[in-house]
Amino acid sequence: MAVPLLLYVVRLANPHVVIGTSAFAVSLNAYLNLIPHARAGHVRWKPAIALAIPGVFGALLGAYFGHRANGHDLLFLFAILMIVIAVLMLRSPRATEPRQPDPHEGAGTRYARVLPTGFLVGALSGFFGIGGGFLIVPGLVFSSGLTMIEAIGSSLVAVGTFGLTTAISYTVLGLINWLVLAEYTLGGVLGGYFGYRLATRLSHQRRALNLIFSAVIILVAIYMIDQNLSVLHL
């Protein structure tokens, strides 16, 4: 959400400055908002860390290519990806069902899915210059079988790590608006607290979080496509 908000609400003009600033802000907010989720028991540390570590290498690779792409092309492709992920989440029963460990599935089998998922999600996060929450949440749901509220809490480990990795590369290039970063981080901490309270309450309604998550992503993606369709360099 940070990229479209900074583009279309704050009205930053340079898409690459938006990407760098939003990645940094999302990273800081993710680490700060991880605290209440961890206290509430929503964080599953092993799959979260297993996804984050290979994701760092993916994010570095993705950021390398993302710097070289046209900004508006990136935003258009980003919006398409948002819609694909949202539709997959709407169709997935895993996000709304309580997690049932499979006695025939060992930890090695689970990590065989989590590790490559982490690298892929990290690469996409770095390429599009985002924390990648909307990718990491379904990535955790699909690869490790976490419920939606567990995936939301656990995703903050990777969101913070991926965002920081991407932000460092943009900082080196001078593509950060520091004033906007400070203001966005402050607002994100306040919003994150109320979001945590709402997510905790809605977690008992199995379908509600999934529907809200997908609907918001689809609406924002449609707006981004409309804004960037006329300036594509494909």
Q: How far apart are CA 73 and CA 102, in angstroms?
A: 42
**Does the predicted TM-score (pTM) go above 0.85?**
no
For the CA atoms of 137, 89, 72, 166, the dihedral, rounded to the nearest 10 degrees, stands at 10
* Model pLDDT for residues 199-233, shown as the tens digit of each residue: 777 666 657 767 877 888 888 888 878 776 765 55
* Model pLDDT for residues 142-182, shown as the tens digit of each residue: 888 888 788 888 999 988 888 888 788 888 888 889 998 88
Q: How far is CA 93 from CA 28, 183, 210, in A?
A: 31, 38, 10
Is the pLDDT score of 34 beyond 70?
Answer: yes
Q: Average pLDDT, whole number, for the chain?
A: 79
8 Å CB contact between 78 and 224 = yes
In the chain, domain spans:
2-231
By percentage, how much of the chain surpasses pLDDT 90? 9
